[in-house]
Structure 1
Amino acid sequence: MAEINGITFDEDLNGVPIKSFEQIRDEILSEWVAEVQELDILPASDAHIRASAVAGQLYALYVSGAVGVNQYMPDTATGDYLVAHVKEEGLEKKLATRAHGEQLQYRRDPNQTRTDTTVTVPAGTRVVTSRGVIFESTADATLAPNILNATVPFQAVDAGANGNISIGEIVSFYGQPPAGINYVTNLDAAVDGSDEESDDTLRDRYFEATQEEEWAGSPAWMEAEAKKVPGITSATAIKNARGEGTMDVLVTSGNGIPSNEKLAEVLAYLSDPTREPINVDLRVIAPEGVAINLTAKAPGITQAQAETVYKAYLASVGGGGTIYPSRIVAALINAGAQYAEVQEPSAQIVLSPTQMPLPGVVTLV
């Protein structure tokens, strides 16, 4: 409850004091009774119903005003209001991007089907991982007579970081398998999937843009500009990385290792001479992936649950972080394990700024 200029407000909306519906209704009824003492104001009475109707509309005005106060400044604005604010710095909210890979493999087994015929699997054929993430091929695949497998590029059906998968996570077709094809899997990881940018991240970029050094080519400018590219979730500029006058920009995509195509996209954007000329020998690089195996006791959860939890934990560590066995234990217990003991890694692992942790083999003992 707050009092401002003698007016009492018994509710708070995002830090803005307002009158509640009940307070408004009761104040209206109190004023009416002051005028007509014999007025019936009990619930279901005509006066109570009328006061409630008026109070509802006035309460909506209070809420609208409180929301407007919060949307007035970029510090507290959300949604479309925040998007309008950041346009002042030439920023746009980044939409979600779809994960993609290059090697979706179809295979036929000579022990189960004929191999002396030509089989074509059309683009758009859908496949799925064991955890239900759906992908589709982006090109036709043709298996000539006596050819047992073929690979095609593929992408997630839905945009988002959930589409970033490791090698071998695709396990079956989504629906009936194409005639003559027995197996499907992915021989490479799907990468570059990212969620729609959150308000908090967009707000952080806005304030970075207002504080960054003015001249094009500075480390702060490079980092802010690189993060404008859809899918890029972090950027670190390393000045004089390869000697005087050079700069490396280390980027992640979907909080993971970006594809070569994404690196080329960022480099082209940063070095576009029609925008801001830069006077450095520029290179855009990806983190070095470091596979870290996990061996643990975790009764009460399945292998798939353990792999999902471990992958999420490593993603939260990110590049240049430190991996703590005790936090892996906590993550496994939070996932439903009765207890957990981590045997590998046996001690904390400190990554260099250019290293990104990747899940290795997960073994439950």
Structure 2
Amino acid sequence: MEYNGITYDEDLNGVPIKSLEQIRDEILADWKAEAPALDILPGSDANIRASAIAGQLYAAYVSGAIGVNQYMPDTATGSFLQALVKEEGITQKLAEKGKGTQLQFRRDPNSVRTDVEARVTAGQLVVTRDGVIFESTVDAVMPPNALEAIVPYQATAAGAAGNIQPGDIIGFYGPPPAGISYVTNLDATADGADDEDDEKLRTRYFEATEQEEWHGSPAWLEAEAKKVQGITSASAIKNARGEGTTDLLVTAGNGIPSAEKLAEVQAYLTDPTREPINIDLQVISPEPVVIPLQVQAAGITLTQAETAYEAYLATLRVGGTVYPSRISSALIEAGASFAEVIEPANPIVLTDTQMPLPGVVTLV
């Protein structure tokens, strides 16, 4: 390619640069022009020296090309992108732990004494069928003759894997506490989120720079809500409850946000120290629609079927239609030789505020 009368052999992310070979050959050509008797063949002293110089000049070209790209928000990465998006008050969101409120410890009156107090100290590790580890966050106490205790819990590691469904916790991670027979979770966890990658951060930046100007507009609400840690999507519904009202539907991690997260978004958008938004705003979460799956399939395990089904539903997020034929395709892609979906028997059409969640998967 030629630019301003100069020929370049390569380009780096759209920036024209000279290749190492081009630089070396141009140096040797200049030297040969000044000293026609100079040996410039491969292995010669001149060729070795020119190659060394060319290597350093090529590194300078690459560094310059990278620098050009890091000053543009559509190509910048890492810390360079983070610095650019701060102009819009945007910061890269870090991973969050999934949290729940109903971790159930039980004791079996047929195998342990129940006429004494049993206690499970905070920090007790438990595990899901997929190997995700959780911990209780407060002490669980069973008075004499009580058979269960329910306490809050959270994932030990931040990330979307910390969003689980009721019953996913199947046992203790290590020896069980003295006198305790069983453990499981009675509720789904929420708010688990992975680190925000560069592309998602870049998308939020452009959404913020292209949004409507006025404070409190639907686009402003959506962009501002996604600044809150853990919020992955936001959709404003104008006049949801009548003239002058707006409902803001948000998701967190890969699912439905907790009540605490909804309150955090509401407080952030209606902060009295900011300019009033002059609308009746309500931050809401999607309505969960649990869809059991009954399928006849060959060549696939229950775990594989559950994973494939969950992945398919995750592509719909909020709204859309759940098609049995696409569930079948997802299972075949996961390794089934065939898959005949028995339930749901017909497509399920979701509203714009409903989110599909996987129910019990049964292979028949």
Residue 284 of structure 1 aligns with an amino acid whose one-letter code is V
**1:131 to 1:27, Cα distance in 2 relative to 1, 3 A:** farther
Q: What is the rounded CA distance, in whole Å, between the counterparts of 2:36 and 2:328 in structure 1? A: 69
Residues 92/30 of structure 1: CA separation in 2 closer, same or farther (3 Å cut): same
- Corresponding residue for residue 187 of structure 2: 188
Matches within 5 A, 1:1-365: 2-29=1-28, 35=35, 39=39, 41-42=41-42, 49-365=48-364
Distance of aligned partners of 1:105 and 1:56 in 2 relative to their CA distance in 1, 3 Å threshold: farther
CA distance in structure 2 between the aligned counterparts of 1:330 and 1:59, rounded to whole angstroms: 49
SS in 2 for 1:284: strand
Superposed displacement of residue 30, structure 1: 5.3
- CA shift, 1:55, in A, is 3.2
The verdict on how the C-alpha distance between 1:299 and 1:215 changes in structure 2, with shifts beyond 3 A counting, is same
CA deviation after TM superposition for structure 1 residue 333, in Å: 2.5
Partners in 2 of 1:116 and 1:22 — Cα distance?
84
SS of corresponding position for 2:298: coil
Distance of aligned partners of 1:38 and 1:287 in 2 relative to their CA distance in 1, 3 Å threshold? same
Paired with 1:20 and 1:65, the residues of 2 have a C-alpha distance of 14
1:22: how far off? 4.1
After superposition, the Cα gap between the structure-2 partners of 1:238 and 1:178, relative to the gap in structure 1 and judged at 3 Å, is: same
Amino acid at match of 1:79: G
Give the whole-Å Cα distance in 1 for the aligned partners of 2:339 and 2:51. Answer: 56
- Residue 54 of structure 1 aligns to a residue in which SS? helix
Residue 136 of structure 2 contacts residue 154 of structure 2 at CA under 8 Å; is this kept in 1? yes
How far apart are 1:41 and its partner, in Å? 4.3
Aligned length, in residue pairs: 363
**1:157-184 Cα shifts (integer Å, max 9, x gaps):** 1111111100011112122222222221
SS at match of 2:304: helix
How has the CA–CA distance of structure 1 residues 364 and 40 changed in structure 2, closer, same or farther, with 3 Å as cutoff? Answer: same
Q: 1:133 to 1:33 in 2, by over 3 A?
A: farther
Contact 1:135 1:155 in 2 (8 A): yes
| Distance of aligned partners of 1:285 and 1:25 in 2 relative to their CA distance in 1, 3 Å threshold | same
Q: Is the 8 A contact 1:192 1:259 kept in 2?
A: yes
- Kept in 2: contact 1:240–1:247 (CA 8 A): yes
Q: What is the identity, as a one-letter code, of the residue corresponding to 1:117? A: V
Identify the range of structure 1 (7-16 vs 61-70) with the bigger mean alpha-carbon deviation: 7-16
> Percent identity at matched positions?
69
In structure 2, relative to structure 1, the CA distance for the partners of 1:358 and 1:47 (3 Å cut) is same
Quote the Cα distance in structure 2 between the aligned partners of 1:342 and 1:27: 67
State the Cα distance separating 1:46 from its structure 2 match: 5.4
Contact persistence 2:136–2:152 (CA under 8 A): yes
Q: Which runs of 5+ in 1 are unaligned?
A: none
* Conservation of the 8 A alpha-carbon contact between 1:29 and 1:41: no
CA distance in 1, matches of 2:144, 2:48: 80
Instruction: Call closer, same or farther: CA 1:107–1:85 in 2, change over 3 Å.
Output: same
Question: What secondary structure sits across from 2:67 in the alignment?
Answer: helix
CA distance in 2, matches of 1:37, 1:132: 72
Partner SS for 1:190:
coil
Cα distance change of structure 1 residues 46 and 247 upon mapping to structure 2, 3 Å threshold: same
Checking the alignment, whether the CA contact within 8 Å between 2:28 and 2:40 is kept in structure 1 is: no
Measure the CA separation in 2 of the matches of 1:68 and 1:74.
Answer: 12
Q: Secondary structure at the match of 1:264?
A: helix
CA–CA separation in structure 2 for the residues paired with 1:215 and 1:141 = 50
- Equivalent pair of 2:97/2:192 in contact (CA under 8 Å): yes
Q: For 1:32 and 1:268, locate their aligned partners in 2 and report how far apart those are by CA, in whole Å.
A: 70
SS at match of 1:340: strand
CA distance, structure 2, for counterparts of residue 163 and residue 46 of structure 1: 62
Task: Output the amino acid matched with 1:322.
Answer: T
Distance across 1 between alignment mates of 2:363 and 2:353: 30
**Post-superposition CA distance 1:7-56 (Å, at most 9, x none):** 4333332222323334444544555566465637436x655554443333
For 1:90-131, what per-residue CA distance to the aligned partner results, in whole angstroms no more than 9, with x for missing partners? 111111111100011112222333333333211112111111
Kept in 1: contact 2:249–2:284 (CA 8 A): yes
Q: 1:36 to 1:248 in 2, by over 3 A?
A: same
Between 115-124 and 252-261, report the one with greater CA deviation.
Answer: 115-124
Say whether the 8 Å CA contact 1:234–1:255 is kept in structure 2.
no
**CA root-mean-square deviation:** 2.2
Deviations 1:302-359 (A, max 9, x none): 1111111111211111101222333323322332223333333334332111111111
**Equivalent AA in structure 1 for residue 286 of structure 2:** P
Q: For 1:77, what is the secondary structure of its paired residue?
A: coil
